[in-house]
A and B are shown apart, each in its own frame.
Chain A
Amino acid sequence: MLFLFVLALLGLCKPLLAKDVVYNFNVSWVTANPDGLADRKVIGINGAWPLPVINVDKGDQLIVHMYNGLGDKNTSIHFHGMYQNGTNDMDGPSMATQCPIPPGSSFTYNFTVNQNGTYWYHCHTDWCYPDGYRQALVVHDSDAYFAGEIEDEFTVTMTDWYHTLAEDIKPEFMSLYNPTGAEPIPNAFLFNDTLDTSLAVKPNKTYMLRLINTGAFVAQYFYIEDHEFTIVEIDGVYTEPTTADILYLGIAQRYSVLVKTKDTATKNYAIVTMADSTLLDTIPSDLRLNLTNWLEYDASASHPEADITVSVSSDLDPFDDSTLVPYDHMPLLTDPVVSINVAVVMANLDNGEGYAFLNNISYTAPKVPTLYTVLSAGDLATNALVYGEFTHSHVLPHNGVVEIILNNNDTGSHPFHLHGHNFQVLQRYPSYGADFFDYASGDPHNYNAATNGTSGFPTYPARRDTLVLPPGGYFVIRFVADNPGVWLFHCHIDWHLMQGLAMTMVEAPDQMQQRLTIPDDHYAACKAAGVKTEGNAAGNDVDFTDLTGQNVQPGWLPAGFTTRGIVALVFSVACAFLGMGSIVLYGLSDLKFVNKDDAIATSAPQEQYHDEQ
């Protein structure tokens, strides 16, 4: 009895020990020059950049009071990887779960962090996080199975860096003159938002590195010279300790690795981050693709530049994350009640600009944030129609197993992120390794349940919240719809999100209506931004099935001759015939000169001849 009481007390202790972690973020423009190449305007918090790393313990209540002091730009914060179970309204993506927060407005994010691991936070309004508005979010967990081994930990962010504001990049990227949709080439790459740094370590200890790709576009390879490491966490999910020597971090992916230091402290070793150059359409000569930072055993010893042994990044053979086994050994989810089968397609629409599609829909934001549509649509909330055609919404039943089959009909890789969940990775093809780029040109290789089969699915599939879709390949993922909310599923390359590479999961809308209450400051932001908080995707709050006036993607390019083309061609042909007719007329009228000629040629000499005789 006493034993039971103690157990119960212990159980209660955890939440009782949980604390509120409060941040006040005054978001404003500051100037920064992290690569030493150019000053630029970046989004700072409380007048500083790089932004503060958010540190919380598992179970804490994270409260962020944000004030938009940018003056000229809407904003919001998405806490990447947070499940937000029960607090969908705190997820952050504009026009999905909230309104964009206009300049001068305040907004409070307040949610419980009942999970552990390495995350990050970033702006999720339009395309604002490449302007510097992103940083690590670390959830410490003293109960982690490896916690006892660790001497110390480092958080490492790696990112691409642009010298131009994203809003100025946009008109050149989304342009008639960029028909291939070639993504903007970064001006630099950063390591912890700077260059040439060292992580000071002692010999013969174990350190944890929390690696995060906080970039907007370019994936990064990561390795440490002469060091192996042990993967213990991906995207907040502890894994069975697994040895690796090279990692590939797609945008928004995280790894925690344990590094055992050497016995002697005589030398510093290069930490190499290498940009995945296959993503870049052109590589400017002044762009440094490889960065060297150091695992510093001895600050006074030399810090040598890494000796790069491969000519291109794709020669590296990174660890295949789909083979990892979660530490909790959660078994394969079976019998999905919903299977969503979509393909990534890049194409041009009739304004000549490049767009990205899942099947044939390029995500186009609705007029009312989808969450608010859920809450105002009543019984119609289970009807995907009300969320509009171009939010590409799927309504998922509560607690059902959901499968997403994502084919890639594009030649580039795409790091896909699902909000509010991590998902089981059932199959990915081609996976990391020598054949990863096999379908980077030529015909894509789509998933076929009959031939690719369910038999190959792992017993304990790896789980994460961001997975890289191989060029021309596919992946199959599953998750349980146990988190009522509006969750985006999108490519985390911000330029592709700009092009519409996203779709919406509306999970258990009836549960949301019962459980969720939107705080007043969220509605106040809408009012300030002039965005409706009730109605369907078209803003119609009377007839939710009437989507007249919804935001739509531009029209499709005509496949061949349109009326206009036919008329033009007919006119041209008619004109040509009339023109040739006039030439014929002119030509025939020349015959009148012939007779005269003949007269001279024949009669004149003969007359003369006769005269002489």
Chain B
Amino acid sequence: MVNVFAVQVFFIVFRECLEAVIIVSVLLSFLKQCLGQPHQDQAIYKKLVKQVWVGSILGVGICLIIGGAFIGVFYGLGHDIWSNSEDLWEGIFYLIATIIITIMGLALLRINKTKEQWRIKIAQALIAKSQGHKKSRFLGDWARRYAMFILPLITTLREGVEAVVFVGGVSLGYPATAFPIPVVTGILAGLTVGFFLYRGGNAMSIQLFLIASTCVLYLIAAGMFSKAVWGLQYYRFQLAVGSDVAEEGNGPGSYNIRETVWHVNCCNPETDNGWDVFNAILGWENTGTYGSVISYNIYWLFIMLAVSYMLWEERSGKKTLRERFLGVLVKVPGLKGYAGKKLDVIHQNPDEIMRQVHQGLFNEPAIEQGVEMK
């Protein structure tokens, strides 16, 4: 099962897909609210909607190509290297995967918050364009005319490349056959949830679904962290023992007794059917070492602390870490522009900027001209 369905790949594709869908849905709902009303020009509205779709599909298409090439090159050139000292590489890859999942996973639970932030970001982008100081008249016009094409193109491209990199990161230890199914199902799941979000489905049940998925995602991550430590320890043991380790199967000698917390002479995920699923989702090994058990527990403690801190941050209204970090960056010459923009998004009053968008943007003649010119 693990060889045809890499669970973490599914979750990463799902998450990135969901984010892309949210952006597109935010854009579409903007259009609908501003131009899609019965008294407005349906032709312009439809053209703009079309632009959004074309942009997003093109973005997805490009990053699928990039992703395919990336993974193809990886498996074409590199995979033999890993299989030689499997446990060492598995350990390292699991460590990378854990870090990636840990960082991006909790964001899945802030889907509503993300949605709102995207709304602000997009609105800001639109305002910036409509008010923009044009350096190049031609480029500016072009960009403004096709804003509804470029925005989704860039965002889907961004999310897509992110997905490719992450998927690459979490899946280095897997055979190529483990990809297609989780990628396809991940995309389908992302689209479905995104659709319900757009359609204003029951927020509660969507959220419950996301919570359940995130729990599974973190179970996997904790398991991978534990497996990473286990793999590195096992690699060291294997180096010392030589090829005899494999010869021992599950029995004595297949594990380092001095570091063992438990060992059962069965249920080896490498050799016994079924246990590989348990291994992929929960990080099960038939030998628990001090390293793997302690790292598993520490991982969860870390998650609990991280979550408590973030909740406290949100509730107390204190500046977030990110804000503080950006606050520092603003003072650094050269980064002022970059950090400042990000800070603006955070400090923006969402209601205010929304109003600006609704009032200003789509009633502006430039856009309509642009659309008509087409």
Partners in one complex: yes
Q: Which residues of A contact B355 (CB under 8 A)?
A: 604
B182 to A: closest C-beta gap in Å? 21
A589 touches B314 (CB 8 A): yes
With A576-B219, A587-B207, A588-B211 given, is the CB distance from A347 to B252 under 8 Å? yes
Q: Which residues of B contact A179 (CB under 8 A)?
A: 241, 244-245, 248, 252-254
Q: Which residues of A contact B211 (CB under 8 A)?
A: 583-584, 587-588
A206 to B: closest C-beta gap in Å? 49
A42 to B: closest C-beta gap in Å? 28
Q: Does A557 contact B (CB under 8 A)?
A: yes
- Which of the segments A110-118, A226-234, A376-384, A592-600 contacts the partner chain? A592-600
B250 to A: closest C-beta gap in Å? 12
B326 to A: closest C-beta gap in Å? 21
Q: Does A568 contact B (CB under 8 A)?
A: yes
With A178-B244, A180-B244 given, is the CB distance from A591 to B262 under 8 Å? no
B262 touches A597 (CB 8 A): no
B113 touches A590 (CB 8 A): yes
A351 touches B110 (CB 8 A): no
Identify whether the interface residues of B are mostly helix, strand, loop, or mixed: helix
Q: Which residues of A contact B253 (CB under 8 A)?
A: 179-180, 348, 352, 354
Q: Which residues of B contact A557 (CB under 8 A)?
A: 252, 257, 263
Q: Which residues of A contact B332 (CB under 8 A)?
A: none
A352 touches B258 (CB 8 A): yes
What 1/0 flags go to B330-374 for Cβ under 8 Å of A? 000000000000000000001100110011000000000000000
Q: Does A350 contact B (CB under 8 A)?
A: yes
With A569-B262, A585-B311, A597-B116 given, is the CB distance from A178 to B241 under 8 Å? yes
Contact partner of B293 among A352, A568, A590, A608, CB < 8 A? Answer: A568
A576 touches B247 (CB 8 A): no
Q: Does B115 contact A (CB under 8 A)?
A: yes
Which chain A residues numbered 556 to 580 have a C-beta less than 8 Å away from chain B? 557-562, 564-566, 568-569, 571-572, 575-576, 578-580
Q: Does B104 contact A (CB under 8 A)?
A: no
A565 touches B112 (CB 8 A): no
B257 touches A348 (CB 8 A): yes
A351 to B: closest C-beta gap in Å? 7
Contact partner of A180 among B247, B303, B311, CB < 8 A? Answer: B247
B359 to A: closest C-beta gap in Å? 7
With A569-B262, A575-B297 given, is the CB distance from A591 to B207 under 8 Å? yes
Give Cα A568 to B285, complex, Å. 13
What 1/0 flags go to A170-210 for Cβ under 8 Å of B? 00000011111010000000000000000000000000000
Q: Does A605 contact B (CB under 8 A)?
A: yes
Q: Which residues of A contact B241 (CB under 8 A)?
A: 177-179
With A565-B288, A605-B358 given, is the CB distance from A578 to B300 under 8 Å? yes
A561 touches B262 (CB 8 A): yes
Q: Does A3 contact B (CB under 8 A)?
A: no
Q: Does B64 contact A (CB under 8 A)?
A: no
Give Cα A347 to B265, complex, Å. 14
With A179-B253, A565-B288, A580-B219 given, is the CB distance from A591 to B314 under 8 Å? no
Residue ID in chain A nearest B34 by CB atoms: A605
Contact partner of A586 among B222, B252, B296, B307, CB < 8 A? Answer: B307
Q: Which residues of A contact B214 (CB under 8 A)?
A: 583, 587
Q: Which residues of A contact B263 (CB under 8 A)?
A: 557-558, 560, 565
Residue ID in chain B nearest A613 by CB atoms: B39
A92 to B: closest C-beta gap in Å? 34
A177 touches B240 (CB 8 A): yes
Q: Which residues of B contact A585 (CB under 8 A)?
A: 307, 311
Q: Which residues of A contact B245 (CB under 8 A)?
A: 179
Q: Does B188 contact A (CB under 8 A)?
A: no
Give Cα A566 to B314, complex, Å. 38
B358 touches A596 (CB 8 A): no
A586 touches B200 (CB 8 A): no
Q: Which residues of A contact B85 (CB under 8 A)?
A: none
Q: Does B203 contact A (CB under 8 A)?
A: yes
B207 touches A590 (CB 8 A): yes
B262 touches A565 (CB 8 A): yes
Q: Which residues of B contact A182 (CB under 8 A)?
A: 244
Give Cα A575 to B219, complex, Å. 11
B113 touches A583 (CB 8 A): no
B100 to A: closest C-beta gap in Å? 17
A566 to B: closest C-beta gap in Å? 8
Q: Does A542 contact B (CB under 8 A)?
A: no
B300 touches A576 (CB 8 A): yes
Q: Which residues of B contact A178 (CB under 8 A)?
A: 241, 244
Give Cα A347 to B257, complex, Å. 13
Q: Does B304 contact A (CB under 8 A)?
A: yes
Q: Which residues of A contact B215 (CB under 8 A)?
A: 580, 583-584
B210 to A: closest C-beta gap in Å? 6
With A176-B256, A352-B258, A583-B218 given, is the CB distance from A600 to B351 under 8 Å? yes
Give Cα A564 to B289, complex, Å. 11
Which chain B residues numbered 277 to 312 have a C-beta less than 8 Å away from chain A? 288, 293, 296-297, 299-301, 303-304, 307-308, 310-311
With A591-B204, A593-B112 given, is the CB distance from A579 to B222 under 8 Å? yes
Q: Does A601 contact B (CB under 8 A)?
A: yes
Q: Which residues of A contact B222 (CB under 8 A)?
A: 576, 579
Q: Does A609 contact B (CB under 8 A)?
A: yes
A348 touches B252 (CB 8 A): yes
Q: Which residues of A contact B297 (CB under 8 A)?
A: 571-572, 575
B256 touches A586 (CB 8 A): no
Q: Does B54 contact A (CB under 8 A)?
A: no
Give Cα A281 to B242, complex, Å. 12
Q: Does B261 contact A (CB under 8 A)?
A: yes
Give Cα A588 to B253, complex, Å. 47
A180 touches B248 (CB 8 A): yes
B112 touches A597 (CB 8 A): yes
Q: Does A582 contact B (CB under 8 A)?
A: yes
Residue ID in chain A nearest B237 by CB atoms: A177
Q: Does B42 contact A (CB under 8 A)?
A: no
B282 to A: closest C-beta gap in Å? 8
B261 touches A352 (CB 8 A): no
Q: Which residues of A contact B237 (CB under 8 A)?
A: 177
A564 touches B207 (CB 8 A): no
Give Cα A302 to B31, complex, Å. 102
Q: Which residues of B contact A575 (CB under 8 A)?
A: 296-297, 300-301
Q: Which residues of A contact B254 (CB under 8 A)?
A: 179
Q: Does B127 contact A (CB under 8 A)?
A: no
Contact partner of B261 among A351, A564, A590, CB < 8 A? Answer: A564
Q: Which residues of A contact B218 (CB under 8 A)?
A: 579-580, 583
With A565-B261, A576-B219, A579-B218 given, is the CB distance from A590 to B304 under 8 Å? no
Residues of A within 8 A of B (CB): 176-180, 182, 281, 347-348, 350-352, 354, 557-562, 564-566, 568-569, 571-572, 575-576, 578-580, 582-591, 593-594, 596-598, 600-601, 604-605, 608-609
- 7 closest residue pairs by CB, A with B: A179-B253, A565-B262, A348-B252, A579-B300, A587-B211, A593-B112, A352-B257
Given contacts A589-B311, A604-B355, could you give 11 more A-B pairs where the C-beta distance is less than 8 Å? A350-B257, A352-B253, A557-B263, A560-B263, A560-B265, A580-B215, A583-B106, A588-B207, A596-B350, A601-B33, A604-B351
